Structures are given as structure tokens and as C-alpha cells.
């Protein structure tokens, strides 16, 4: 299975710590693991996250087109089952 990497920009209105916390809460609430999670500062600012599957990477990226109301709260999005 090929790994897939996405870059999620950090919104200007929140700190790196807050952004990272929101990303981790979303991942942890779904029991999803990353292969790599690193800070990106050039060009722009954000996070580079590598997943084991393209499907999970695309799902994650679509959730974090800021501001993500459901992703910020950790709530499942439409059509997604809540985590047990």
C-alpha cells in the first residue's frame, strides 16, 4: 500500500499549538495514525502529514479546509460513523 502525504495550511487566526491540537484531536477521536507529522514553514505555514492510505489522507485533507466546524469539535461529519 502506497503512503500518501497532504499539506494542511495553518489558519492565520490560530497558533501552531492550537492548530496542531485540533488536528490531533480529530485524528485521535477516529483512532487514525500518521506515518509522519511535521511543521511546514516554506512556502507558507502549516503541517505535512503522511498517512498509510490515500483514502485516509484525502478524508483528512477535506476535513481541514479551514475553518472546519465539525473537525474543530472532533464531531463526525455527515455520513461518518461516530467512534466507539
- The domains located in the chain, with CATH, are 4-73 (3.30.70)
Cβ contacts of 61 within 8 Å, gap of 6 or more = 6, 8
* Pair 6, 60: CB distance under 8 Å: yes
Taking all residues of the chain, what is their mean pLDDT, rounded to a whole number? Answer: 78
Q: Which residues of the chain have pLDDT under 70?
A: 1, 43, 65-84
What is residue 31's predicted lDDT score, i.e. its pLDDT? 92
**Helices (H), ranges, 1-84:** 16-29, 54-63, 69-73
Cα–Cα nearest to 4, from 45, 41, 35, 29: 35
What digits encode the pLDDT tens for the residues 18-40?
988 989 999 999 998 899 999 98
Q: What angle do CA 27, 10, 28 make, to 5 degrees?
A: 10
* Spacing of C-alpha 7 from chain mean position: 9
Amino acid at each position: 500500500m502506497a503512503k500518501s502525504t497532504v499539506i494542511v495550511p495553518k489558519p492565520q487566526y490560530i497558533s501552531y499549538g492550537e492548530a496542531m491540537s485540533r488536528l490531533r484531536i480529530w485524528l485521535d477521536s477516529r483512532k487514525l495514525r500518521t506515518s509522519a507529522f511535521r511543521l511546514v514553514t516554506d512556502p507558507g505555514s502549516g503541517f505535512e502529514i503522511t498517512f498509510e492510505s490515500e483514502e485516509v489522507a484525502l478524508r483528512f485533507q477535506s476535513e481541514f479546509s479551514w475553518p472546519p466546524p465539525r473537525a474543530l469539535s472532533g464531531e463526525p461529519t455527515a455520513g461518518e460513523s461516530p467512534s466507539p
